[in-house]
Amino acid sequence: MQPEGEAVRIPSRSAGIEPRVVAVSGGSSGIGRASAAAFVAAGWKVALGGRRAERVDAAVAELTSGGAEVFGTTLDVCDDASIQSFFDAAEAALGRVTAVVNCAAHARPGPLHQLSPEEIRAEIETGLVGSLLFARAGICRWIERSVSADVVFISSTSAETPWPLHTPYSASKAGVEQAARSLAIELEGTGIRSLVVRVGNTVGTGWIDDWSGPEKMAVVEWQRLGLLRHLGLLRPEQVARAIVWAVSAPRGAQIDHISVHPEAPLDPSSLD
Catalytic pick from 82, 155, 156, 194?
Answer: 155
Is 259 among the residues known to form the active site? no
* Sheet containing 149-156, strands listed edge to edge, beginning at the edge strand earlier in sequence: 70-74, 45-50, 21-25, 99-102, 149-156, 192-199, 257-260
Of these residues, 25, 45, 169, 194, which one is catalytic? 169
User: What DSSP string describes 142-184?
Assistant: HHHHT--EEEEEEEEGGGTS--TT-HHHHHHHHHHHHHHHHHH
In whole angstroms, give the CA distance from residue 215 to residue 119: 14
Q: How many CB atoms lie within 10 A of CB 220?
A: 10
Amino acid, single-letter form, for residue 18? E
Catalytic residue among 28, 156, 158, 173: 173
45 is catalytic: no
Residues 132, 81: Cα–Cα separation, whole Å: 14
227-244 burial, b at 16+ Cβ within 10 Å, e below that, comes to: bbeeeeebebebbbbbbb
CB 143 within 8 A of CB 191: no
Name the pairing type of β-strands 192-199 and 149-156. Answer: parallel
Distance CA 70, CA 221 (A): 40
| Residues marked as catalytic | 155, 169, 173
